């Protein structure tokens, strides 16, 4: 059966006219060229640049640095470990708190609890907002003289520290990031659940299984492909995190992330290829989850 299909396909390719072959070439070539030139080539160049000293201006000034930038990062820049720590906190928070919450919401909404339509909409709205706007909205809430400070009875002179208070700022940033992430996961999972055979759940309900048992024993295992994809999205998003923190702190490294350090060293007033090395480190960390994702998504095709 399978070989027959393949044969058919092969035959259809053989029968292609010269014109058709040209069309096919153009169909594939154009987008591929675009990807290669504007996406893969720049990434490759960044990887190469991370092994050089350069101020980003004259090509002639590029000097080979070997592993100096990496050595500098790993052994000479304590801020790198702060960033790594923050990225890991982000990752753990997303994996163990935000993503499960999104799944929980999706599960409840899929059961069509009272008000689920309006709730769905509300939880999803932050996802369609630009980070520029999210920054402004939360600034209103948290700044001295803003809502949260006001509720606590603080004015600008005795405002409590939020962004600069290292006991709480990680939580606040995680909360803001979750504001967006939970809705996103909720929607993805909900879509997966819609495809789920609801008779299975009803059957288990009749068997007297509790909600939790039904979810854990029946729904969650069946949703395995979706679970993996959501986990990978969570990991990649945590490692790529940048915009939200950039909106809050700018290029200063008050709450560093790998990509913030990359940007600070890449841009800013002094450009150094240490920034390229930072982004290569972030890239390498992303590669494993990307591979897992691809493997999972294209499992059938790979066989």
Partner 1 sequence: MSDVNNGISRRSVLKGAAIGGAGLVAGGSLLAGCGKKQVTGDVHFTIRGNLSDAGAKIAIAANDAYTKKTGNKVISQAVNSDDFQNNFVQIMQGTPDDAFGWMAGWRTNARADAGLLADVSEQVKALGSSLSAAAIQGATNPSDGKQYIIPTTYYPWGLHYRKSTMQELGLNPESIATWDDLIKLCEATQKKGLVGYALGDKGGWEAMGTFDILNMRLNGYQFHIDLLNGKEQWTDAKVVEVFNHMGELIPFMNKNVLDISWDGMRDLLLQKKCGAMMMGSWFANDFLAKSQADYDDLWIVPFPEINPEHGIDSIDAPLDGISVAANGKNPEGGADLAGFLGSKEGIDAAVAAGDTNIYISSDFDTSSYDAFNKQKLAVLGAAKNIGFFLDRDTRGDFAGPVVGPAIQSFLKNPKDLTKILESTQAQWDALPAL
Partner 2 sequence: MSTTIVQNKEYKNKQKTKDNFISAIIGFFAFVWIFPILWTLWTSLRPYNDIISYGVFSWPRNLNLDNYFQAFRVMGLTKYFLNTLYVMVPSVILILFLGSLIAFVVSRYSFRFNLTLLLFFTAGNMLPTIATYIPVFWLYIKIGDLFGNRSLLYNNYFGIILIHVAFQVGFATFVLSSYMKTVPKEISESAILDGCSVFRHYWNVMLPLLRPPLAALGVLMSCWIYNDFFWALILMSEDSKRPVTSALRQLQGQYITDFNLLAAGASIVAAPTIILFLVLRKQFVSGLTLGATKG
4 binds partner 2 (CB under 8 A): no
| Residue 110 CB contacts under 8 Å (≥ 6 apart), including other chains | 190, 193, 194, 196
- Helices then strands, each counted (H, E), the chain: 18, 2
Considering the rule CB under 8 A, would residue 292 count as an interface residue with partner 1?
no
Which of these, 136, 182, 144, lies nearest to 163 by C-alpha position? Answer: 144
Chain residues 207-266 in contact with partner 1, contact rule CB under 8 A: 249-254, 256, 261, 264-265
Map the footprint of partner 1 across residues 139-168, applying CB under 8 A: 144, 156-166
How far is the C-alpha of 173 from the C-alpha of 162, rounded, in Å? 10
| DSSP structure string for 251-297 | TS-SS--HHHHHHHHHSSSS--THHHHHHHHHHHHHHHHHHHHHHHH
Among 71, 81, 92, 122, binds partner 2 (CB under 8 A): 122
Question: To the nearest whole angstrom, how small is the minimum distance from the Cβ of residue 187 to partner 1?
Answer: 33
Q: Which two tokens stand for residue 31?
A: 């987008």
Angle, vertex CA 35, rays to CA 31 and CA 39, nearest 5: 160
Q: Using the rule CB under 8 A, is 179 a contact of partner 2?
A: yes
Q: HSE, CB side, 13 Å, CA atoms: give it for residue 199.
A: 0
8 binding partner (options partner 2, partner 1, none; Cβ < 5 to 8 Å by kind)? partner 2
Tell me if 253 sits within 8 A of 261, measured CB to CB.
Answer: yes
Among 162, 233, 244, 248, binds partner 2 (CB under 8 A): 233
Q: Does 132 bind partner 2 (CB under 8 A)?
A: yes
Site for partner 1 in 73-92 (CB under 8 A): 75-79
Choice from 62, 172, 290, 292 touching partner 2 (CB under 8 A):
290
Q: Work out whether 20 is an interface residue with partner 2 (CB under 8 A).
A: yes
Q: Interacting stretch for partner 2, rule CB under 8 A, among 85-93, 164-172, 180-188, 213-221?
A: 180-188
Check binding of 170 to partner 1 (CB under 8 A): no
Q: Does 93 bind partner 2 (CB under 8 A)?
A: no
Cα separations (Å) of 243 from 64, 80, 108?
A: 31, 18, 31
Q: In the complex, what is the shortest distance from the CB of residue 95 to partner 2, in angstroms, rounded to a whole number?
A: 17
Q: Which residues in this chain contact partner 1 in the complex, by CB under 8 A?
A: 53, 55-58, 61, 63, 65, 68, 71-72, 75-79, 144, 156-166, 249-254, 256, 261, 264-265, 267-272, 274
């Amino acid at each position: 059966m399978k070989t027959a299909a393949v044969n058919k396909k092969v035959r259809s390719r053989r029968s292609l006219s010269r014109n058709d072959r040209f069309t096919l070439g153009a169909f594939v070539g154009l987008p591929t060229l675009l990807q290669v030139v504007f996406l893969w080539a720049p990434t490759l160049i960044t990887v190469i640049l991370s092994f050089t000293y350069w101020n980003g201006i004259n090509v002639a000034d590029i000097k080979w640095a070997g592993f100096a930038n990496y050595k500098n990062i790993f052994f000479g820049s304590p801020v790198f470990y702060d960033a790594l720590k923050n990225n890991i906190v982000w990752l753990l928070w997303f994996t163990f708190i935000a993503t499960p919450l999104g799944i929980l919401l999706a599960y409840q909404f899929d059961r069509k609890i009272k008000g689920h339509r309006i709730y769905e909409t509300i939880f999803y709205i932050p996802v369609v907002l630009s980070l520029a706007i999210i920054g402004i909205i939360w600034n209103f809430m948290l700044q001295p003289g803003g809502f949260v400070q006001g509720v606590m009875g603080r004015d600008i002179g005795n405002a409590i520290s939020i962004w600069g208070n290292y006991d709480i700022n990680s939580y606040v940033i995680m909360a803001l990031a979750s504001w967006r992430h939970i809705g996103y996961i909720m929607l993805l999972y909900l879509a997966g659940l819609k495809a789920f055979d609801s008779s299975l759940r009803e059957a288990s309900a009749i068997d007297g299984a509790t909600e939790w048992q039904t979810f854990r024993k029946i729904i969650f295992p069946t949703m395995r492909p979706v679970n993996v994809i959501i986990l990978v999205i969570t990991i990649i998003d945590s490692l790529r995190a940048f915009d939200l923190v950039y909106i809050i702190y700018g290029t200063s490294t008050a709450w560093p992330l790998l990509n913030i350090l990359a940007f600070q060293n890449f841009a800013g007033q002094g450009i150094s290829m240490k920034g390229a090395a930072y982004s290569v480190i972030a890239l390498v960390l992303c590669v494993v989850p990307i591979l897992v994702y691809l493997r999972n998504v294209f499992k059938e095709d790979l066989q």
